[in-house]
Amino acid sequence: MATPTIVTMPGDGIGNRVLPEALRVLDKVGFKANYVHADIGWEFWCKEGNPLPDRTIELLDKHKIGLFGAITSKPKAEAAKELIPELQDKGLSYYSPIVGMRQRFQLDLCIRPCISFPGNPLNFVRRGVDGKLEEPYVNVVIFRQNTEGLYSGVEWTDPPKEVRDALGTHPKFKAFADVPGPELAVSTRIFTQAACDRIVGEAFKYAKKFGYKSVTICEKPNVIRETSGMLLQTGRKFQKEYPDIELWNTNIDAQMMWLTKNPDDYGIIVAGNMFGDIVSDGFAGLVGGLGFARSANVGKKVAVFEPTHGSAPKYENLEPQIVNPIAMILSACMMLDHLDETEKSAQIRKAIGEVIAGGKIRTYDMLKLPGGPDVVAKGAATTEQVTNAILERL
């Protein structure tokens, strides 16, 4: 296979601190790639009025694979104030470069594995009937639709007349017909069959590739009949091609309750944009939270791999650095899986597992300490020490 070129986008804050750690690990495991740096984030908003410059889009378009750290976002009014004087009053409006990338490249699948590492002190524990504590092994991969649903941005406060009229054709809108315009807010939840086919199809493929025994559609089809119903029907359609994989159907609310009762029962979970956002944060909390949560944004042509966490600006300039690099390193493992370098990613995950099980090297989050410059004195490992321990085991 030709040597891939990876577009590295460290972005803001701790993105700049964790991404280089992932590169050290990729190098050690013998992954051969060319890396090109691309600009993204707050600095480019302030200096150029665009947090996702065209040159970055061109690089992603050309090389197809992005490894991304994190960015800083601020509310629109605050963002406008931080523009350089030359760009003030140009009517520029801040937008999230992550959402920008997802839309520009139709990164319609968001894949978020939530898998426990035995020995992680942040793992969820529950009490069994005998009164003893049990630590269920969670091995769930969430497939969240990334471009449609409630986050597609088709929404109004005081909807225009045509929209009101169209809504008025639905008998259930009668209950809202007399609400004055400025007091009426509407956010639409749009699902398309093409997007449902794609996410469910990819979820089953993934289940087969990595040996999961079930695919769960996690929605609310008994109430949100049209959109949730479409995803569930699509699940039924695809399951016929995979007789060895069971199709389950849960409601998002019940799923959040079962999260703590039987998280070990689930395999692949498929959900629309918002429910996928919710359920993936829920499962991530069972297996260590932000220091461990990784994700892939996958389109048909371009894929971008990133930790779920943000730029944690308050830690950016700490020396030594204290944040957990594991979420970033695991995101790089997802990139290896995507490139069919599954043996290398398995080696890295095994090394991470050994470091965690060893119990000696633990970042402040794993020690449940409040973050700050004093955590190293209290026994926390630095970011670099965690990576070094992983490298030693490779």
CB 125 within 8 A of CB 101: no
d(C-alpha 197, C-alpha 2), whole Å: 31
- Residue ranges in 227-286 that form contacts with Mg ion under rule CB under 5 A: 277
Piece of the chain touching ligand NAI by CB under 6 A; list 178-186, 307-315, 344-352, 384-392: 307-315
The interface mask with ligand NAI, positions 41-70, x = CB under 6 A, is: -----------------------------x
290 binds ligand NAI (CB under 6 A): yes
Tokens representing 305 are: 């791999």
Q: CA-CA distances (angstroms) from residue 296 to 166, 260, 299, 361? A: 37, 25, 10, 27
- Total of residues contacting ligand NAI (CB under 6 A): 18
Binding ligand NAI (rule: CB under 6 A), the pick from 112, 164, 309, 338 is: 309
Binding ligand NAI (rule: CB under 6 A), the pick from 66, 291, 299, 353 is: 291
d(C-alpha 83, C-alpha 98), whole Å: 19
Binding ligand NAI (rule: CB under 6 A), the pick from 8, 50, 56, 72 is: 72
120 binds ligand NAI (CB under 6 A): no
Extended strands (E) in 190-263 = 214-219, 246-251
- Name the residue number minimizing CB distance to Mg ion: 277
CB 232 within 8 A of CB 191: no
376 binds ligand NAI (CB under 6 A): no
What minimum distance in Å lies between the beta carbon of 312 and ligand NAI? Answer: 4
Dihedral of the alpha carbons of 282, 122, 335, 207, in degrees to the nearest 10: -60
**Residue 70's binding partner out of Mg ion, ligand NAI, none, with CB under 5 to 8 Å set by partner kind:** ligand NAI
Binding ligand NAI (rule: CB under 6 A), the pick from 4, 159, 229, 371 is: 371
- Residue ranges in 275-334 that form contacts with Mg ion under rule CB under 5 A: 277
The edge-to-edge listing of strands for the beta sheet with 303-307 is 34-37, 5-11, 65-70, 303-307, 294-298, 109-115, 139-145, 268-271, 214-219, 246-251
d(C-alpha 165, C-alpha 159), whole Å: 10
Judging by DSSP bridges, how do beta strands 5-11 and 34-37 pair with one another? parallel
Helical spans, DSSP H, in 32-126 = 42-48, 54-63, 76-81, 97-104
73 binds ligand NAI (CB under 6 A): yes
216 binds ligand NAI (CB under 6 A): no
What minimum distance in Å lies between the beta carbon of 277 and Mg ion? Answer: 5
Residues lying near ligand NAI in the complex (CB under 6 A) are found at 70-73, 98, 290-291, 306, 309-313, 323-324, 327, 365, 371
